[in-house]
Amino acid sequence: MSIVGATTTELLARFERGDLSSVEATTAYLDAIALNDQRVKAFLHVDYDHAVAQAKAVDAKRARGEPLGKLAGLPVAVKDVVCTAGQPTTCASRMLKNFVPPYDAHVVTRLRLADAVLIGKTNMDEFAMGSSTENSAFQVTRNPWDLERTPGGSSGGSAAAVAAGMSPLALGTDTGGSIRLPAGYCGVVGMKPTYGRVSRFGLVAYGSSLDQIGPFANDVAGAALLLEVLSGYDRRDSTSVDTPVPEYSRTLEEPLGGLRIGIAKEHFVEGLDREVEQSVRDALEVYRSLGAEIQEISLPHSKYAVAVYYVVAPSEASSNLARYDGVHYGHRAAGFENMIDMYSASRGEGFGPEVKRRIMLGTYALSAGYYDAYYLKALKVRRLIRNDFDKAFESVDVIASPVAPTPAFKIGELIDDPLAMYLSDIYTISANLAGLPGLCLPAGASCDNLPIGLQLLAPPFDEDRLLRAARMFERETQWHKRRAMEVGD
C-alpha cells in the first residue's frame, strides 16, 4: 500500500523497521496536499518547510537511538480552532484572520512531546458553528468521495484531510457532533471523548460545557493511539478531570465477551434514510454473529435534544464571543464614529451570518425575562437526557445508532435552511449534552458510493470499552479499508 493510504500502525512499523523515514512520509503527505487540496480545500495553512524540519528532527533522534514519543514521525493535521504558537489560528473567521497565538494549546504541547509532525491547520465552519464546513469565511471544503458534497462540519477540513490521504491523523472538536458527523460523511474514524478527558486549554471556545477535542484516523487503532496522547489531567483547564488514562492502544485487541448493545427505538423513525438504516442493522448483525446481545432501549427525552442544544450552545457562544469587540484583539473596523459604532462595525464585519445568528439566539435566551423560560428550562431537560442514558447503561454496555439521517448532502443544498442543517446532528447532539464519549466508524456505503457511519456511545470515561467494541466490528469488516483515492487521479 502507498504511504498515504497506510494506517498509523503500518507507518509506525515501517519507521521501526527502517524502510521509511519521517521525512519521506511527511513529504508524501505534503505532496498529496499539493496534488489534491486545490480541489478538496481541507487546509487553511500548511507550513511545508517547518513540517519537513520537524520530520528531520525526529529522524535524527531515531538515528541517535534516543527515546521517541508514541507518534514519532507521524504527520497530524490540527483544526484551526486549536491554538498553535507562531502559526495562524483563525477559527475560519475574518474576526481572527491575522491572529497568531503566542502559546500552544495543551493538546498541541502533547503532540509535540509525542514527536508528531504538525503538518497544517484545517478548515472548519466559522468558530465551529455548522454542520457542513460551508460557513468558513475563507473557503468551502469538499468531500473527497464526491467533490459536489459536503464533508460535514464543523471539523470537515480534518475529516477530509484524512479521507483524501493528506494526513494520517487529525484533530477535530465536537460540540454537537462536529467530529462524528464529518467522520461518517468522509468514511473515517472520529471520536469525541468524555467531557473532561481531554484538556480544552488553548481551544477557542464555542460552547464551554459541550466542546471536546478528539481524534480522526483511518482506523480505530490510529484513533486510540492519538486519544491516548491527547488525554490526561491539565490544571489549567478547570473542567479537566484528574482520572487515570488507560493505554487504549494496548487493550484494543482484547476481546469483549458478553457485549450488550442497546438500540434506541427513538433513533429508527421517519426521516432516517433507508440505506443508512440498513447499514446500521447490518452492523448489528455482525455484532450478533460475534456473540453480542442486542437490546432495545428507550431514550424518551432525545426528541428534545436539538431544541435544548440550540438554546444551551448559542447562549454559551453569546458569552464566549463577547470578547471579540474590536478592542483587545481580532478584527477592528477601519471606520467608526464612536465606541459603540466601533463595536457594532467590527463585529458586523468580522462575524459571518451563522455566527451572528447563534449569537443573537443566545443573547435572546439569556436576556432579562427569558432566562428562566429558555436557558434554565433547557438545562433541566439536559439533565433528563443524561438520566435517560444513565438508566440505559444499567442494562447495556454501549449504544449503537446512525451518525446522521442521510449520507453526505450536496454543497449548497441546506445552506439556506438552517433548521434542516441543524437536524443533521440529531443523532449526535445528545452525547454532548450528556457528556458521554462517542465514536463513529465506517459501516457501509450508499448506492452513490458515499460512506455511511455507525455511531457507538458508552458511559462516561469508558473510552477503552468503546474503542474495543469498535475494533470488534472493524476486525470483521472491510469498510475502513476503502480509500477516496480517486481524488488524486
Owner of C-alpha cell 448532502: 409
Peptide bond into 446 cis (omega under 30): no
Q: Single out the residue of 3, 2, 5, 9 nearest to residue 484, CA to CA.
A: 5
pLDDT in tens, 202-238: 999 999 999 999 999 999 999 999 999 999 999 999 9
Owner of C-alpha cell 511545508: 48
Is 363 inside any structural domain? no
Cβ-based neighbours of 269, under 8 Å, separated by 6 or more: none
* DSSP of 304-325: GHHHHHHHHHHHHHHHHGGG-S
Q: What angle do CA 21, 25, 27 make, to 5 degrees?
A: 115
CB 47 within 8 A of CB 85: no
Query: Tell me, what's the pLDDT at 486?
Result: 47
Question: 290: number of CA atoms within 13 Å, CB side?
Answer: 23
Owner of C-alpha cell 475563507: 138
Report, as ranges of residue numbers, the positions in the chain whose pLDDT lies below 50: 486-489
Is 49 inside any structural domain? yes
CB 152 within 8 A of CB 145: no
The whole-angstrom separation of Cα 309 and Cα 440 is 20
Query: Tell me, what's the pLDDT at 487?
Result: 43
CATH number for the domain spanning 407: value is 3.90.1300.10
Is 323 inside any structural domain? no
Is 388 inside any structural domain? no
Q: Single out the residue of 181, 222, 155, 224 nearest to residue 466, CA to CA.
A: 224
Considering all CA atoms of the chain, what is the largest pairwise distance in Å, rounded to the nearest integer?
71
Active site residues: 79, 154, 178
Is 318 inside any structural domain? no
Q: Which domain holds residue 427?
A: 3-262+393-488
- What 3-state DSSP class applies to 10? helix
Please state the domain count of the chain: 1
CB 178 within 8 A of CB 128: yes
Question: Residue 68 gets which letter from DSSP?
Answer: -
> Is 280 exposed, middle or buried (CB count within 10 Å of its CB: 0-12, 13-18, 19+)?
buried
The whole-angstrom separation of Cα 325 and Cα 214 is 30
CB 183 within 8 A of CB 90: no
Question: Residue 409 gets which letter from DSSP?
Answer: P
Characterise 284 by phi-psi region: left (phi > 0), alpha (psi -120 to 50), beta (else). Answer: alpha
Is 446 inside any structural domain? yes
Angstrom distances, CA of residue 444 to CA of 96, 185, 278, 281, 441: 38, 11, 9, 10, 9
Is 287 inside any structural domain? no
Is 304 inside any structural domain? no
> Is 348 exposed, middle or buried (CB count within 10 Å of its CB: 0-12, 13-18, 19+)?
exposed
Query: Tell me, what's the pLDDT at 328?
Result: 80
Task: Kindly report the number of other CB atoms within 10 A of residue 265's CB atom.
Answer: 11
- What 3-state DSSP class applies to 419? helix
pTM: 0.97
- Grid coordinates in use for 277? 438504516
